[in-house]
Structure 1
Amino acid sequence: MPYKRRDASVLRRIALADPSTKNTAVAADDRTITMEVSWSGCDYKPDLVARETDKQVALLLKRRDASGPNIGCEDGGIAELTVVLRQPLRPRSLTDVLTGEPVPYTHA
């Protein structure tokens, strides 16, 4: 089935109204990032993508639009998404690709 793909802000798509640190965790290996996100009923589950530089890691949700002619939108969802970095996060900052804002997180 064909679908449209659009980027989405991780801060705007974090589950719950308050994008607090409980939604994003960096594992003890300092490379695995897990984030709980929500999506609408006309989307497929998004993909969590990390864009790495020497100074920052920017997170992005790859949104896949499931709407179209003769396609009904089902319920959305909430799930934990994971991305593994090529290099440890520290001392780099964790940001949102689209807004440039810092993404709050905890270390597991």
Structure 2
Amino acid sequence: MSGDDRTLTVMAEWGGCDSLPHLRATETPKAVLLTVRIAGRTGAGVVCPAVARLGPARVTLHTVLGLRTVTDETTGRRLSVRRQ
């Protein structure tokens, strides 16, 4: 969590044929649900390097996080928030 209490950053992993990760936030009055979307390229003639990349994915909330919980929308796990 950034100092403005609105920008969330998570670390995401993607492969050689994947696009950069896109972090999406669904906001409610009590919670923020996060989902990472990664699109892959496929098709005839597409050659993918066998690499794994790890890097940040960010999203800016419409309103400050405040006391809302942050949850991984895919797994349902509550995420810990570290403010910087």
Which TM-score bucket, shorter chain as reference? 0.7 to 0.9
Structure 1: any 5+ residue segments left out of the alignment? 1-25
Q: Is the 8 A contact 2:15 2:52 kept in 1?
A: yes
Runs of 4+ displaced beyond 2 Å: none
Match of 1:88 in 2: 64
SS at match of 1:91: coil
Of 8, 11, 23, the residue aligned with 1:48 is 23
Q: So what's the TM-score if we normalise by structure 2?
A: 0.87
Structure 2: any 5+ residue segments left out of the alignment? none
Match of 1:64 in 2: 39
Query: Alpha-carbon deviation of 1:76?
Result: 3.3
Q: So what's the TM-score if we normalise by structure 1?
A: 0.70
Alpha-carbon separation, structure 1, partners of 2:31 and 2:11: 21
Match of 1:32 in 2: 7
Q: Which has the higher helix share?
A: 1
Give the aligned CA root-mean-square deviation in angstroms. Answer: 1.3
In structure 2, give the amino acid aligned to 1:28: G
How many pairs align?
83
Alpha-carbon separation, structure 1, partners of 2:23 and 2:13: 12
Instruction: Indicate the percent of aligned positions where both proteins have the same amino acid.
Output: 33
